[in-house]
Copies of this chain bind each other. A is one copy, B any other.
Amino acid sequence: MAQTTLNNDTKTTSQPIAHELAKKQKEVSVAEFFERNRHLLGFDNKRKALLTVVKEAVDNSLDACEEARIMPEIIVEIVEMGNDRFRVIIEDNGPGIVKKQIPNIFAKLLYGSKFHTMKQARGQQGIGISAAVLYSQLTTGRPTKIKSKISPKDPAHIYELRIDTSTNSPEIIKEEETIWNNKDHGVRIEMDVEATYQKGDQGVDAYVKQTAIVNPHATFIYTNPKAEQMIYPRASEHLPKEPMAIKPHPYGVELGILLKMVKQTEKRTLQAFLTEEFSRVGPGTAKEICENSSLDPRMKPEQLEHPHVEKLMEGIKKTKIIAPSTDCIVPIGEELLEKGLRKEVPAEFYCSVTRPPEVYRGIPFVIEVAVAYGGTQPGDQPARILRFANRVPLLYQMSACASNKAIIQTDWRRYGMSQSNGALPVGPMTLVVHLASVWPPFTSEAKEAIAHYPEIIKEMKLALQEAGRQLGSYVNKKRRVADQQQRINIFENYIPEVAAALADITGEKKEIITAAMRKMLEKNKEFIMRNQAQVQEVDSEGPSLGKSYEDDDEDVKEDGKE
Contacts and interface: CB of A to CB of B under 8 A. Distances in A.
B309 A68 contact: no
A40 interface: yes
Given A30-B30, A45-B454, A420-B420, 10 more contacts: A2-B242, A8-B185, A9-B69, A16-B96, A16-B151, A27-B126, A33-B110, A37-B441, A39-B443, A443-B443
A321 to B, nearest CB: 20
B69 A7 contact: yes
A36 interface: yes
A137 interface: yes
27 contacts: A8-B69, A8-B70, A16-B151, A19-B150, A22-B100, A22-B101, A26-B112, A27-B110, A28-B112, A28-B115, A28-B116, A28-B126, A30-B30, A32-B115, A33-B110, A35-B256, A39-B451, A40-B445, A44-B452, A139-B254, A140-B256, A141-B256, A141-B306, A142-B306, A400-B400, A400-B443, A423-B423
Instruction: Among A140, A141, A152, A445, find the residue whose CB has the most chain B CB atoms closer than 10 A.
Output: A141
A207 interface: no
Contact of A150 (B18, B24, B25, B45): B18
A503 interface: no
A35 B32 CA distance: 20
Contacts of A40: 443-445
Interface in A430-473: 439, 441-445, 449, 451-454
A9 B95 CA distance: 10
A551 to B, nearest CB: 31
A259 interface: yes
Nearest to A136: B256
A11 interface: yes
Interface in A370-397: 397
A225 to B, nearest CB: 21
Contact of A25 (B101, B142, B255): B101
A249 interface: no
Given A33-B125, A95-B16, A6 B254 contact: no
Interface in A401-448: 404, 420, 422-423, 439, 441-445
B18 A141 contact: no
A64 interface: yes
B98 A138 contact: no
Contacts of A16: 95-96, 150-151, 154, 185
B6 A68 contact: yes
A256 B137 contact: yes
A139 B309 CA distance: 12
A343 interface: no
A21 interface: yes
A442 B454 CA distance: 24
A110 B21 CA distance: 17
B3 A69 contact: yes
A29 interface: yes
Interface in A68-125: 68-70, 95-98, 100-101, 104-105, 108, 110-113, 115-117, 125
B96 A29 contact: no
A138 B255 contact: yes
Interface in A117-164: 117, 125-126, 137-142, 148, 150-152, 154
Contacts of A2: 67, 242, 244
A505 interface: no
A260 interface: yes
Contact of A104 (B17, B25, B104, B117): B25
A46 to B, nearest CB: 11
B441 A444 contact: no
A310 interface: yes
Contacts of A45: 452, 454
Interface in A259-295: 259-260
Contacts of A151: 8, 16, 18
Nearest to A405: B399
Closest 3 pairs between A and B when the two form their complex, measured CB to CB: A138-B256, A400-B400, A18-B150
A262 to B, nearest CB: 10
B113 A21 contact: yes
A165 interface: yes
A70 B22 CA distance: 17
A28 B441 contact: no
A490 interface: no
Interface in A30-72: 30, 32-33, 35-37, 39-40, 44-45, 64, 67-70
Contact of A26 (B17, B116, B150): B116
A182 to B, nearest CB: 15
A257 interface: yes
A83 B548 CA distance: 58
Contact of A24 (B96, B116, B309): B116
Contacts of A97: 18, 21-22
A205 B397 CA distance: 29
